[in-house]
Structure 1
């Protein structure tokens, strides 16, 4: 039910987008309800394959997001059921959806496309519904311009009417001005019956000579005048054969047959053009020479004659005629080969359109399966159901798919890429993404956990959290304050000795920093001792003592030493001076901060010791 709901939502969105492209050409034509119902039905059927991938993506995101949000996915995994086993029934269902998508594209889609575009062309060609506005010129009637200052919508009477009739040409316009009038449609809806009252008509009469200065005209005053204007407002369906050569109106078998046929035609025409080029002889540019002159020149020079010398020996009139003839011949050849080149390019473009449509029927069907393997694991990772986060994620992923798919399609259609490469680009990009997300979700990875990335950024930038200690409602074991006082004094003494030994505020040696492979275990032990004391003192009932515990810093024990655990990576970072200097100054800054933390530990330990002794 969720999939059906998302499918109809996606189908409605695609239908609105399709309708928005043609709404200006369809509005105001008085189309019957039956025609509109057919238009919406065929557009919906043709958009089913495009709606299915987005519906699968959105439904899988919501389903597995709900599983994760309600901890159902966690319960199933805890019971030993892997994500792939959970997805297995849905994989079978999505495979069935892929089959439906392919069936719609290969069988139902071509028939729906023929019906839809035949209907759409017929709707475009229909004349608009007659509705003459007030105060502006109305030119929807072919060959006429009408102006009405005011009209009575109840009676249909028009007032202060002005009509320009350009049926005989702009120079011979008929101009009619009337006080009032009325416009009616004939019963066959092919003519307009115009009634005019109390007006004048003016028209130019055709002049007998084009050079005549005065053109006669005719002026007529009338009390009542009736005329018929041709205006076919009836809806007529165009012949469906106009879509027979379109790639969208064919199934895969017909597409392949059309590609083979057009390829054979292109090869045959190309070979004939090649033979024609090779058979073009040398054009003779000496039409003024007689046959005897030509025979004599060939006898004197059996290898041929020099065209340049013949041209130089000609008279000025002959030279002009020769150049004119050559120019005309070259122009005719250029026009002829440009036309032939256009035919070849047009045929190649038709072949690419058929090939892209052939591949599109497969890739669009596989998109349902790929989107499922993206949406299901992604929903399990983000663990958010409903129509909030899943809708945002699905829209972003579909936009990326749409951009990649359209780019590949246009590159393949225009011949910039190989057809199969352009049409399969989106699949090649999104299929590894689906496999990666499925693998990460199956292994409970935190690849899309925002907290993990926030913690990593804080670690890199040196931003640390603040300690927050709260009073416990139930305390099972009270702290051993007498022992803790001694432990705090010893911790302070060890911290002071560590600071004097390490000299943390002093700049470290650049060579030793990268070459010496030794960890700082002392600070790790000091930090563990401090955290153990803080954990034991957190059981205290004293609010003052709890507030004082919050002053203990959270120490990153590895920030002041080499950045990498692998020895050769540290060597490489030190040798690459820009990177090495960055880490060098970063480590120095963390050493200085560590010195401040140690001073704070000593000070806080002394204050806690004083509080314990005063409240013994």
Structure 2
């Protein structure tokens, strides 16, 4: 045996026996409390009481051993965790399962020992204690004559004592009725008396002083109806009264060996087989007796082949009667025969029920021997993991939780036994119901302990309870949600909510507006999707319009969700009882404002994300609920980032919605996300001035500006040729020119007229790749140069982007 195994076993065995003795003592005290009335007042010796308690303590072992195993394993592993010994063993590469292995093996042998105790010692204990209780029950209580009342505790006599001297035992004003004759014919009155019982409690000596004896014959005849009365005065009279059963007499042998609790497995098996055979044979006899009963006028009218009667029934005059009187007489005989048959069947049923009950109790007791031993082993899988998880080994939280599990086992075991005895469930289910419930719990706790999961953190339990409560509430009333959004970015979250079966009762989006050369009325992307899904749509021009507010209230929404919409007035966002949350396309508190995606790319960020937060009276300042980040590649445009955020944003909206419905969200103030001297960057609305490229800026900044404004609204520059009006050129994609360009003025065009077009910057140049000149379609640079003559003669106008970017950093 290794030192670690010896150490753990030593730590386990000591507490096990200590707890076992304490548990036995507590259970014996409870046992004594139940039977205290049977012991008190019988004059029992200390040895008899000690024997009674000894056999009683043996009967509680099936309950004490599992509890001792549970608490001892919990305390052993818990003390190791509390003293950091468990952590040290883990650091040395010893797993929790390896630590628990010695206790597991010890618990296995304890369960085997428990089986032998239950099968060999406990039946003897029940036999002895049943016999002892019977003997004690036959013992009469000690004679204690109260003062001032009639006492009939002595067989054949009634006594009354006026007063008593407790020191000398002398009784005053004594009245003694002797009922051994016919009626109340003998009476003794004495001034005083003293009583003494023999040592073996076989007789009682009653010495009376200065009294009178009265006796009458109480016998009358037909000729003589007179009564004779005899009176005798005395100064001292001694009376010896024989007593029976006032001394405890122990039986020579136990008399309750035939009870199911007092039988070992072999005897239980024999009794079960005997009961089965007796029941089956009795059933066969009853069937044969019923079939051949005289109550049938023709016993051949039944199919009695199974009973051995093989005659074929044949009677042409059967049920043919001469007249109505004969018919009535036949019917009366048939009714009497039916009543007699019913009585016989009820008697048979009672006998069969008696056999069935006895058989059920025997089979249940047979299986419980194994179930109780198995419980001892299962308790290890609850106690040891609890100690490892809670890391407390004393009489505290861990002990209370362990006791609660034991109470659960005890209640389930009692319930299962009762149901099995009543026949509501099978004997197998009744005997092993507690094991079937606790074994999965024990295996789950063991798994948690092996994987070092902290069970003391109740957050998961609270979350589960909130989710279950929300699901139950959703069965009767689903949360009503109004969704607010406009562009394509807001369609994905709305679609995700509908796929998860959330109850979207309405959509709010911008009013339709004419646009383009033909002033065609365009609908928002959210409206188009909502109409396809059959969701009511509201399109207010003003959010404070009373008509709109009334329409919104009529939807009776519990929650508002906002994605890429306008700033809401308090009259709107304060309306639902669960509040209003917004999905923002940035990692708040950075990039508060209308264009967070664009500004993150313009500023050259390598990481951004999406945030859900509760709306308040300021812009994008509410408590943060969830955040999720993504990386921005060096070649990503605002459109690329938009598509990435649209996917994760949909997931965040669904998670946030579920959390709010389950009341399982915690908001954090935005300033808690600011690290050190981090500077907050705004995301103001995009302007034409920002889109007009200032080529006096750095190559890197202009490159990021083009990416940040692509594909919409797109960065642009103005190409101008001497003697002609400027032409706007939108730039969708571009590249930084790696070769240095020296001695050039920013904004100058460098091109071969066929394959490339560079525009110089303050420190280099930008190579245009995808462009669109005013009045033309979007095209790559080769296609553009093919139709743009003499590009080298053009220059660019002064832009304003550098100044606009500088404003955000002021």
Question: Is this a same-fold pair by TM over 0.5?
Answer: yes
Q: Identify which of 104, 109, 115 aligns with 2:117.
A: 104
The CA deviation at 1:124 is: 1.7
Secondary structure of the residue aligned to 1:385 is: coil
**Within 2, Cα distance between the matches of 1:566 and 1:124?**
81
Partner of 2:401: 393
Q: CA contact under 8 A between 1:121 and 1:238: conserved in structure 2?
A: no
The CA deviation at 1:166 is: 4.2
**Within 1, Cα distance between the matches of 2:422 and 2:174?**
53
Secondary structure of the residue aligned to 1:2 is: helix
Partner of 2:269: 256
1:430 matched to 2:430 = no
1:246 matched to 2:259 = yes
1:225 matched to 2:237 = yes
**Within 2, Cα distance between the matches of 1:64 and 1:181?**
70
Q: Identify which of 40, 44, 55 aligns with 1:42.
A: 55
Evaluate the alpha carbon distance shift between residue 306 and residue 49 of structure 1 in structure 2; reply closer, same or farther with a 3 A threshold: farther
Partner of 2:457: 449
Partner of 2:193: 181
Q: How does 1:324-339 map to 2 (within 5 A)?
A: 338-339=346-347
The CA deviation at 1:436 is: 0.5
Select between 347-356 and 53-62 the one with higher mean Cα deviation: 347-356
List per-residue Cα deviations over 1:75-106 (Å, max 9, x = no partner). 22232222111100111111111111111111
Partner of 2:626: 558
1:17 matched to 2:85 = no
Q: CA contact under 8 A between 1:202 and 1:217: conserved in structure 2?
A: no
Q: CA contact under 8 A between 1:135 and 1:148: conserved in structure 2?
A: yes
Select between 100-109 and 145-154 the one with higher mean Cα deviation: 145-154
Partner of 2:590: 526
Evaluate the alpha carbon distance shift between residue 361 and residue 84 of structure 1 in structure 2; reply closer, same or farther with a 3 A threshold: same
Q: CA contact under 8 A between 2:364 and 2:427: conserved in structure 1?
A: yes
Q: Identify which of 182, 185, 193 aligns with 2:205.
A: 193
Secondary structure of the residue aligned to 2:238 is: strand
1:116 matched to 2:118 = no
Partner of 1:158: 171
Partner of 2:533: none
> What number of residue pairs does the alignment pair up?
501
Q: CA contact under 8 A between 1:176 and 1:199: conserved in structure 2?
A: yes
The CA deviation at 1:373 is: 0.7
Evaluate the alpha carbon distance shift between residue 137 and residue 97 of structure 1 in structure 2; reply closer, same or farther with a 3 A threshold: farther
The CA deviation at 1:58 is: 1.3
Q: CA contact under 8 A between 1:58 and 1:390: conserved in structure 2?
A: no
Q: CA contact under 8 A between 2:589 and 2:673: conserved in structure 1?
A: no
Partner of 2:421: 413
Q: How does 1:297-376 map to 2 (within 5 A)?
A: 303-305=319-321, 309-310=325-326, 338-376=346-384
Partner of 1:29: 42
Looking at secondary structure, tell me which structure has more helix per residue: 1
Q: CA contact under 8 A between 2:625 and 2:656: conserved in structure 1?
A: no
The CA deviation at 1:455 is: 9.1
Evaluate the alpha carbon distance shift between residue 2 and residue 306 of structure 1 in structure 2; reply closer, same or farther with a 3 A threshold: farther
**Within 1, Cα distance between the matches of 2:287 and 2:52?**
48
Partner of 2:786: none
Higher relative contact order (CA 8 A, sep 6+): 1
Q: CA contact under 8 A between 2:177 and 2:184: conserved in structure 1?
A: no
After TM superposition, the score normalised by the length of structure 1 is 0.69
Select between 190-199 and 365-374 the one with higher mean Cα deviation: 190-199
List per-residue Cα deviations over 1:343-371 (Å, max 9, x = no partner). 33222222222112111111111111111
List per-residue Cα deviations over 1:466-519 (Å, max 9, x = no partner). xxxxxxxxxxxxxxxxxxxxxxxxxxxxxxxx9996648575799xx9xx9x96
The CA deviation at 1:448 is: 3.1
List per-residue Cα deviations over 1:317-376 (Å, max 9, x = no partner). xx9xx89x987x888776665554433322222222211211111111111111111011
Query: Any gaps of 5 or more consecutive residues in structure 1?
Result: 285-298, 462-497, 529-552, 606-616
Secondary structure of the residue aligned to 2:162 is: strand
Query: Any gaps of 5 or more consecutive residues in structure 2?
Result: 1-13, 298-314, 470-562, 593-620, 629-646, 678-810
Secondary structure of the residue aligned to 2:455 is: coil
Q: What's the C-alpha RMSD, in Å, of the aligned pairs?
A: 4.7
Secondary structure of the residue aligned to 1:55 is: helix
Q: CA contact under 8 A between 1:172 and 1:205: conserved in structure 2?
A: no
Partner of 1:537: none
The CA deviation at 1:47 is: 2.2
**Within 2, Cα distance between the matches of 1:278 and 1:39?**
54
**Within 1, Cα distance between the matches of 2:426 and 2:281?**
22
Q: CA contact under 8 A between 2:295 and 2:341: conserved in structure 1?
A: no
**Within 2, Cα distance between the matches of 1:163 and 1:387?**
61
Looking at secondary structure, tell me which structure has more strand per residue: 2
Evaluate the alpha carbon distance shift between residue 506 and residue 38 of structure 1 in structure 2; reply closer, same or farther with a 3 A threshold: same
Q: CA contact under 8 A between 1:99 and 1:365: conserved in structure 2?
A: yes
Computing the radius of gyration over CA atoms, which structure comes out larger, 1 or 2?
A: 2
Q: CA contact under 8 A between 1:165 and 1:174: conserved in structure 2?
A: yes
**Within 2, Cα distance between the matches of 1:200 and 1:334?**
67
**Within 2, Cα distance between the matches of 1:125 and 1:98?**
39
**Within 2, Cα distance between the matches of 1:198 and 1:335?**
68
List per-residue Cα deviations over 1:54-75 (Å, max 9, x = no partner). 1111112222222222222222
Evaluate the alpha carbon distance shift between residue 188 and residue 96 of structure 1 in structure 2; reply closer, same or farther with a 3 A threshold: same
